[in-house]
């Protein structure tokens, strides 16, 4: 079982130029906190007890399964981090520019990760975060007609 929390704050700046039919939007996603922990990094919670030589199942309550006396029963899972990871705060900038066109149309340009930031790499005691590379596009919207 994996648990964690993330706090993302979004800042948006919108600039209008009505005379030009232009709207510029800048969006900053500030990832203030990101914490992740694997609760069941071992099979501690995956078994309900042990079997005696007489073949009887002896149940072990979940709160006692982490005790030292059961250490030989627990088996670490592969490829699962047991220690919690805290990723350092980071931010990401995206831009969008829209221009009105004649006949009710609109021309739009967007750039996700506008500064092409890589994000923070893994440090000692921290997890890492890498952003998608710069993605951009151009959109044209034109109404087909009135219904």
The whole model's pTM is what?
A: 0.61
Sign of CA dihedral 96, 99, 104, 105: negative
- State pLDDT tens for residues 90-122: 899 999 999 999 888 999 999 999 999 888 776
71: tokens are 């250490």
């Amino acid at each position: 079982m994996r648990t964690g929390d993330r706090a993302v704050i979004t800042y948006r700046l919108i600039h209008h130029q009505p005379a030009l039919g232009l709207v510029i939007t800048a969006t900053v996603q500030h990832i203030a906190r990101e914490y992740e922990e694997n609760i069941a990094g071992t099979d501690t919670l995956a078994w309900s007890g042990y079997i005696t030589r007489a073949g009887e199942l002896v149940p072990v309550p979940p709160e006692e399964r982490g005790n030292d006396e059961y250490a030989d029963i627990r088996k670490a899972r592969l490829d699962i981090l047991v220690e919690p990871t805290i990723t350092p705060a980071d931010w990401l900038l995206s831009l969008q520019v829209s221009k009105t066109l004649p006949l009710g149309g609109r021309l739009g340009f967007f750039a996700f990760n506008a500064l092409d930031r890589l994000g923070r790499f893994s440090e000692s005691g921290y997890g890492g975060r890498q952003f998608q590379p710069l993605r951009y596009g151009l959109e044209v919207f034109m109404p087909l007609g009135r219904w």
